[in-house]
Every structure is written in C-alpha cells, then in structure tokens.
C-alpha cells in the first residue's frame, strides 16, 4: 500500500461527497441507474472513452445505460474497482495540466473465469441491450491475416467442448445469444470497439462461424437477428501508472487505485445499426452515428495506428521511452511526416469533409503531447496481431499500384528487429506477443542473410501473398540490413 493509500480515504460512494472542489462528478443519481450494457475487457481505454461518453450522456438524458464491466482473464481490475463501488478518476492531460473527473456509470465488475455461467446469464438477461468489447486484437481468437476464426485456438477448442463454461469472448457471446434464442427473446447488439478493420462485420463472422460449429440453426438465427455495428474509436490512453494514482489523489483528495489518464481528443464513429434501434443517443455528446464507418476506420487505422506502430518499434530501438519522446527527435518527426505524406495518405480515401493533411498535422500534435506518456513498449505489444491492419493493408494497396514503400518497409523491418528480442545496445527486450516464442525461434534458426525471408513466411501475419512479392521482400530486406548496420535513427534519416 502506498503512502497515499494510508493517508487518504478511498474513493467510494460513501466518500464521494468529500471530493475536492473543481473535480467533475457524475451528473445523475447512480442509485437509480439500471444496467443495459455488459462490456468485455475492463482496461484503461474503455474507462477513458466508452464509459466517459456514456457518463456524459447520462448527465443530460436519464436511461438505463449503466455498465457491467468484465475482465476476461484476471481479477486485477475488479479488485481495484469493487472496493470503490465502480467509481474511478479520469485525468485529462495536456500541456496546461490535468483535469480530474469521476466516472459513475460502471455499476458492477465481474471476472469471467470465476463464474462463466453467471456472466452468460447476465448477458442473456433481457435488461442487457448491448454487449460491447475492448479486448485488443489478440482477444478475438482469429487469424489476423485473414480475419477468420482460428478453430484450432485453445480457447475456441475449450469453448466447443465446454459450451456452458466458455472463456473466449466469442464463446461467451455465442452462449448468451443461444440462451436468448432458447428463451424466445430478442438478441442484444454486439458492439466491437477494438482497432480492427470492419470490426463489426469481422466479429459477426467470428460469432456465426463459431455458432455453426455448435448448431447451424443458432448460426442462422444470429445472422438474421443480431446486430454487429462497426465502430471507430480514437483516444490516446496510456497504461495506468502509479503517477496517475498520485495525480488523482492530489486532484480529488481521495485514494483511487483505478485512476486512468488520457489526452483531450476523443472520437467515436458508430454504424447506426442496433437491434430494434435501441441504443444510447451517444450522438448527443459528440459521437458520430453514420451509415458507413469504413472511411473513418481506414483513416484512423492507417494514419494514427500505423504511425504509432512504426514509431513504437523504431523509437524503442533508438532508445526512446514514449511516443512524445520519439517525435521530439527531429529525425523521427521528419520520418513520420514523410510516411503520412508520401505513402499512407495517397492510399487512403478521405472521409466526407476531412482534409487528410490537417488530420495528419493534428495527429502529430497529439503524439507530441508531453503530458501523455504513451510508452513505445506498450504500443509495441502484440505486433503480430496489429501489423496486418495497421501497416500491411497500406503496403498491399501501394504494391498493387506499383508504388514504392520505403518507410512502410522500415516500420516492418523495425518490428522484425524488435521481436528478435535484443535492442541496439544488446539489452534483452521483453517482447509481449502471442507469437513471440515462434517468431524468435524463426529468427534464431535462420542464417543472418535469410532472417527476413524466414520471418515473412509467418502466414498468420503476412498471409501467402506478400512473401511472394519480390518488391516487398526486397524493400523489407534492405530496410532490415540498414537497421542492423546503422541503427534505427540513422535508418529513419535515409
């Protein structure tokens, strides 16, 4: 327990009235708030984005849109939030400082492995109108190169063998929808809020494919009746730190073990397709309800997320701890500006009314915010799941037009160098990736001159097409050689 914990009362419903002046509080009666959303994945992002929008809406429009938050693996978040009655502090950080608010719409916290049947029952309850997700790319038990269900995934195999005690998100959703169908009830809407292309359509395919492995009739019912809107979410939310807890305590006068920080910017674009049209009117607090999310999704995945990954690998290799540190380096600032201008923006049709040059300039300003310490190591996690959407889609488009990919290739080479597990100073890298062991074994098992070709044969990342394209192999191979010979900073400067 920290000094703060021992010296201040803990945030809870009982202590909420003792918050210091200037802190924004929930603008509604929590005691009368029903729970209409079950959210899978209780990390920092959902608490600083989806829950914040919902909290804003409840302050101006009462409704039963409280959230049950679910951790799919570990009890950590529940153990932090349950003693606080689901209350937590968000800190909006910019150069002027931090503004604290307390979010109140999280009404309950569950841990799926402790009672999977109970969670399925909660989702199957007619009061639940939306099941939303932020479980990161690797949580979908799919092949990131194709977007298809990985039927051999251990969690999927487990859920097929144990349909009443699922542990994957896909298995839990399917079990709850099956219970709705058996009870003669309408389905809920499934709202994916992760950075995946066509995320709603993709999740619909995963759920119906999984359901078909159980029951063709169930799969058909889901396809005909459930709704899986696509979304695009955008807000930079670093992993929570002890410094956030300290800052929240200073601002509020209460100890909050679950405080999170975020940048001022936020965006949420949602396909307006919900079961029976029932949903929160999030557009009243700034969300964009549209008929087609795809242009916004392409823009964000390829410009923001693609640049984030490129800067994470290259910046980490060059010794930069955060994205702000990386773009403060003029070499990497020039690199990412040229990446957007020369390679990414020409391959991305703009959404209606968006100036892509202005959008990129806004991104750079957000990346440079020194108050948001988004670590390169954090963004570098799970690259095997992220690269297909963030970088390889743009590469495929440019190669199809016969266009060069020098900066995109350098980003891919940076990932290859990173997953090798040793940085430029010879220090070990803590690589967090579902394929970490096999990727490193592939690199270590290949001769130095054959490492790129060997790693590009990882079909789950690169598919079967890219390793057969000489222009791609040559570009990545050349970039990798420069990284080894010159280091990331010098390679980015060429």
270: Cα separation from own chain's centroid: 16
In this prediction, residue 6 carries a pLDDT of: 65
Q: Which residues pair with 92 in a beta bridge?
A: 99, 262
Q: What is the pLDDT of residue 97?
A: 83
pLDDT for 95: 78
Q: How far apart are CA 367 and CA 357, in angstroms?
A: 15
Q: What percent of the chain has pLDDT over 70?
A: 99
pLDDT band at 3 (very low <50, low <70, confident <90, very high): low
47/105 Cα distance (integer angstroms): 10
Query: What whole-number distance in Å separates Cα of residue 29 and Cα of residue 13?
Result: 11
- Can you tell me the distance from the alpha carbon of 105 to that of 103, in angstroms, rounded to the nearest whole number? 6
Rounded mean pLDDT, 43-56: 98
Render pLDDT for 358-386 as a digit per residue (tens, 0 to 9): 999 999 999 999 999 899 999 999 999 99
φ and ψ of 67, to 5 deg: -115, 135
Spatial separation of the C-alpha atoms in residues 88 and 72, rounded to whole Å: 20
Provide, rounded to the nearest whole percent, the portion of the chain with pLDDT above 90.
95
> What is the mean pLDDT of the segment spanning 255-275?
97
Q: Which residue has the tokens 């914040």?
A: 52
Is the full-model pTM beyond 0.85? Answer: yes
How many Cα atoms within 13 Å fall on the side-chain side of residue 74?
A: 4
Q: What's the average model confidence in pLDDT over 387-400? A: 97
Q: What are phi and psi of 298, to 5 degrees?
A: -60, -45
Residues 212, 251 contacting (CB under 8 angstroms): no
Say how far apart CA 433 and CA 78 lie, in whole Å: 24
Tokens of 55: 């909290």
Q: What is the CA 49 to chain-centroid distance, rounded?
A: 11
Paired strand residues for 24: 101
| Fold of domain 295-493 | 1.10.1040
What pLDDT does residue 282 have? 98
Dihedral over Cα of 347, 350, 355, 359: its sign: negative
| 237 and 48 Cβ atoms separated by less than 8 Å | yes
pLDDT, averaged across the chain: 96
pLDDT over 80 at 12, yes or no: yes
CB distance 411 to 335 below 8 Å: no
- Please check the confidence at residue 130 and state whether its pLDDT lies above 60: yes
Q: What is the pLDDT of residues 297-320, one digit of tens each?
A: 999 999 999 999 999 999 999 999
Smallest Cα–Cα separation from 292: which of 206, 205, 229, 355?
Answer: 229
Classify 3-292 by CATH class.
alpha beta
Mean pLDDT of 407-427: 96
**Distance, CA of 67 to CA of 182 (rounded, Å):** 25
Between CA 480 and CA 197 the distance in angstroms is 27
Calculate mean pLDDT across residues 136-160. 94
Domain spans of the chain?
Answer: 3-292, 295-493
Residue 96 has pLDDT above 80, yes or no: no
Confidence of residue 494 (pLDDT cuts 50, 70, 90): confident
What tokens appear for 51 in the block? Answer: 């829950």
145: confidence class by pLDDT, cuts 50, 70, 90: confident
pLDDT at 200: 98
How much is the average pLDDT of 436-465? Answer: 95
pLDDT class for 1, splitting at 50, 70, 90? low
Assess whether the region 3-292 and the region 295-493 belong to the same CATH fold.
no
Catalogue the long-range contacts made by 161-169 (C-beta closer than 8 Å, 24 or more residues apart): 163/214, 164/116, 164/117, 164/120, 165/116, 165/117, 166/116, 166/120, 167/72, 167/112, 167/113, 167/116, 168/72, 168/139, 168/141, 169/40, 169/41, 169/72, 169/133, 169/135, 169/139, 169/140, 169/141
Alpha helices by DSSP H, 401-469: 406-419, 436-445, 451-455, 459-462
When pLDDT is averaged across residues 383-404 and rounded to a whole number, the result is: 97
Dihedral sign of CA atoms 241, 242, 245, 247 in order:
negative
């Amino acid at each position: 327990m920290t000094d703060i914990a021992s010296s201040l009362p803990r945030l809870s419903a009982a202590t909420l009235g003792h918050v210091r002046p200037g802190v924004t509080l929930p603008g509604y009666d929590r005691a009368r708030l029903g729970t209409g959303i079950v959210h899978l994945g209780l990390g920092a992002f959902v608490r600083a984005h989806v829950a914040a929008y919902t909290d804003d809406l409840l302050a101006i429009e009462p409704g039963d849109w409280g959230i049950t938050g679910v951790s799919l693996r570990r009890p950590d978040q529940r153990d932090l939030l349950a003693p606080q009655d689901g209350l937590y502090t968000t800190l909006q950080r910019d150069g002027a400082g931090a503004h604290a608010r307390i979010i109140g719409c999280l009404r309950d916290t569950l841990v799926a492995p402790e009672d999977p049947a109970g969670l399925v029952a909660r989702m199957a309850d007619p009061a639940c109108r939306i099941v939303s997700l932020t479980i990161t790319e690797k949580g979908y038990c799919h092949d990131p190169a194709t977007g298809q269900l990985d039927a051999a995934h251990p969690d999927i195999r487990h859920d097929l063998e144990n349909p009443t005690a699922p542990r994957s998100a896909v298995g839990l959703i399917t079990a709850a929808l099956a219970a709705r169908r058996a009870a003669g009830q309408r389905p809920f809407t499934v709202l994916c809020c992760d950075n995946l292309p066509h995320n709603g359509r993709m999740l619909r395919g995963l759920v119906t494919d999984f359901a078909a492995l159980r029951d063709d009739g169930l799969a058909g019912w889901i396809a005909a009746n459930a709704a899986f809107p696509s979304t695009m979410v955008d807000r930079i939310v670093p992993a929570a730190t002890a410094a956030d807890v300290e800052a929240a305590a200073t601002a509020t006068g209460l100890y909050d073990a679950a405080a999170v920080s975020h940048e001022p910017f936020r965006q949420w674009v949602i396909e307006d397709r919900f079961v029976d049209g029932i949903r929160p009117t999030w557009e009243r607090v700034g969300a964009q309800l549209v008929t087609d999310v795809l242009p916004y999704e392409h823009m964000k995945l390829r410009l923001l997320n693609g640049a984030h990954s490129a800067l994470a690998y290259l910046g980490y290799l060059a010794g930069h701890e955060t994205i702000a540190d990386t773009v403060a380096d003029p070499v990497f600032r020039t690199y990412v500006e040229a990446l957007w201008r020369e390679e990414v923006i020409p391959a991305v049709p703009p959404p209606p009314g968006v100036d892509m040059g202005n959008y990129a300039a806004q991104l750079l300003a957000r990346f440079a915010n020194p108050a948001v310490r988004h670590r390169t190591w954090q963004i570098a996690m799970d690259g095997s799941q992220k690269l297909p959407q963030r970088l390889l889609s743009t590469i495929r488009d440019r190669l199809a037009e016969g266009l060069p990919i020098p900066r995109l290739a350098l980003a891919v080479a940076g990932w290859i160098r990173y997953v090798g597990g040793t940085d430029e100073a010879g220090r070990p890298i803590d690589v967090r990736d579902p394929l970490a062991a096999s990727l490193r074994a592939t690199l270590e098992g290949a001769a130095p001159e054959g490492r790129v070709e060997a790693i590009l044969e990882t079909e789950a990342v690169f598919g079967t097409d890219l390793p057969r394209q000489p222009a791609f192999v040559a570009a990545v191979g050349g970039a990798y050689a420069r990284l080894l010979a010159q280091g990331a900073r010098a390679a980015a400067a060429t």
